[in-house]
Amino acid sequence: EPEVTQTPSHQVTQMGQEVILRCVPISNHLYFYWYRQILGQKVEFLVSFYNNEISEKSEIFDDQFSVERPDGSNFTLKIRSTKLEDSAMYFCASSEVTGETQYFGPGTRLLVL
């Protein structure tokens, strides 16, 4: 069964450093998303991406964040200068049609020290 994959599974970084989180969505999906979940809190929407551009972003997704689909298979989330409060689990998701079933990856646990 096709699945969303994410790398790395864990990332530890120093405050102020740049991190890139990588995702490979399901191959025939056209809509891509990033969400995050701070420990013990809700899953929160960050950004949606379609046709090589951002469709929608939340207020969390400020100028420190960017997304890219550098080739036909990868979808990345970059945090330019990490802050302590960026420590969270980051999930990538994809769907075939907007708004319908989104399939989530296993997540990247980011720890900013």
Partner 1 sequence: QKEVEQDPGPLSVPEGAIVSLNCTYSNSAFQYFMWYRQYSRKGPELLMYTYSSGNKEDGRFTAQVDKSSKYISLFIRDSQPSDSATYLCAMSDAGGTSYGKLTFGQGTILTVHP
Q: Does 100 bind partner 1 (CB under 8 A)?
A: yes
Among 48, 67, 75, 112, binds partner 1 (CB under 8 A): 48
- Contact track, partner 1, 3-42, x by CB under 8 A: -x--------------------------x-x-x------x
DSSP for residue 80: S
CA distances from 98 to 18, 36, 104 (A): 30, 19, 14
Q: Does 106 bind partner 1 (CB under 8 A)?
A: yes
Q: Is the peptide bond before 106 cis (omega within 30 degrees of 0)?
A: no
Q: Does 76 bind partner 1 (CB under 8 A)?
A: no
Q: Does 59 bind partner 1 (CB under 8 A)?
A: no
Largest CA distance in the chain: 38
